[in-house]
Amino acid sequence: SRNQTDKEQLTVMGAGLVGSLLSLYLARHGHRIQVFERRPDPRQAGAAAGRSINLALSDRGWRALEGIGIAEAVREVAIPMYGRVMHDAQGNLSYQPYGQPGQGIYSVSRGGLNRRLLDLAEAEPNIQLNFGQQCLEVDLREQQLHLRDSATGEEKHLGYQRLFGTDGAFSAVRSSMQRTDRFDYSQSYLEYGYKELTIASAADGTWQLEKHALHIWPRGRYMMIALPNLDGTFTCTLFFPFEGDESFAALRTPGQVQAFFERVFPDAVPLMPELIDDFFGNPTSSLVTVKCFPWVHEDDVVLLGDAAHAIVPFYGQGMNAGFEDCTVLDELLNAHAGDWGKVFQEFQRLRKPNADAVADLAVYNFVEMRDKVADPRFLLQKKIESKIAAQYPDQWLPLYSQVTFSHRPYAEAWANGQRQDAIMSRLMARIQSEEDYDRPEVQQLVQQEMAQVPA
Closest CB to ligand FAD among 46 and 376?
A: 46
Instruction: State the nearest-atom distance from the C-beta of 386 to ligand FAD, in Å.
Output: 23
Q: What is the DSSP letter of 359?
A: H
Closest CB to ligand FAD among 318 and 423?
A: 318
Instruction: State the nearest-atom distance from the C-beta of 449 to ligand FAD, in Å.
Output: 33
Rounded to whole angstroms, the Cα distance separating 434 from 418 reads: 23
Rounded to whole angstroms, the Cα distance separating 412 from 270 reads: 44
Handedness of CA 172, 175, 181, 183 (dihedral sign): positive
Rounded to whole angstroms, the Cα distance separating 123 from 128 reads: 9
Closest CB to ligand FAD among 56 and 268?
A: 56
Closest CB to ligand FAD among 292 and 423?
A: 292
**Closest C-alpha to 411, from 353, 325, 349, 453:** 353
Instruction: State the nearest-atom distance from the C-beta of 56 to ligand FAD, in Å.
Output: 4
Instruction: State the nearest-atom distance from the C-beta of 307 to ligand FAD, in Å.
Output: 6
Instruction: State the nearest-atom distance from the C-beta of 166 to ligand FAD, in Å.
Output: 5
Q: What is the largest CA-CA distance in the chain?
A: 76
Backbone angles phi, psi at 307, to 5 degrees: -60, -35
Closest CB to ligand FAD among 36 and 396?
A: 36
Closest CB to ligand FAD among 218 and 305?
A: 305
Closest CB to ligand FAD among 18 and 423?
A: 18
Rounded to whole angstroms, the Cα distance separating 229 from 237 reads: 13
Q: Which residue is nearest to ligand FAD (CB)?
A: 16
Contact (CB, 8 A) for 165 and 157:
no
Instruction: State the nearest-atom distance from the C-beta of 135 to ligand FAD, in Å.
Output: 4
Instruction: State the nearest-atom distance from the C-beta of 437 to ligand FAD, in Å.
Output: 33
DSSP letter string over 271-297? G-TTHHHHHHHSPPEEEEEEEEE--EE
Contact (CB, 8 A) for 67 and 325:
no
Contacts from 145-149 at CB under 8 Å and sequence distance 24+?
145/11, 145/13, 145/36, 147/36
Phi-psi region at 189: left, alpha or beta (left = phi > 0; alpha = psi -120 to 50): beta
Distance set, CA 250 to CA 73, 193, 350 (Å): 44, 13, 44
Instruction: State the nearest-atom distance from the C-beta of 370 to ligand FAD, in Å.
Output: 14
Closest CB to ligand FAD among 323 and 344?
A: 323
Closest CB to ligand FAD among 336 and 408?
A: 408
Rounded to whole angstroms, the Cα distance separating 291 from 309 reads: 6
Instruction: State the nearest-atom distance from the C-beta of 54 to ligand FAD, in Å.
Output: 8
**Closest C-alpha to 216, from 283, 310, 314:** 314
Closest CB to ligand FAD among 16 and 104?
A: 16
Closest CB to ligand FAD among 308 and 446?
A: 308
Rounded to whole angstroms, the Cα distance separating 184 from 179 reads: 10
Instruction: State the nearest-atom distance from the C-beta of 113 to ligand FAD, in Å.
Output: 10
**3-class secondary structure per residue, 123-176:** HCCCEEEECCEEEEEEECCCCEEEEEECCCCCEEEEECCEEEECCCCCCHHHHH
Contact residues toward ligand FAD (CB under 6 A) are 13-19, 36-39, 55-56, 134-135, 166-168, 172, 194, 237, 305-307, 313, 316-320, 322
Instruction: State the nearest-atom distance from the C-beta of 165 to ligand FAD, in Å.
Output: 9
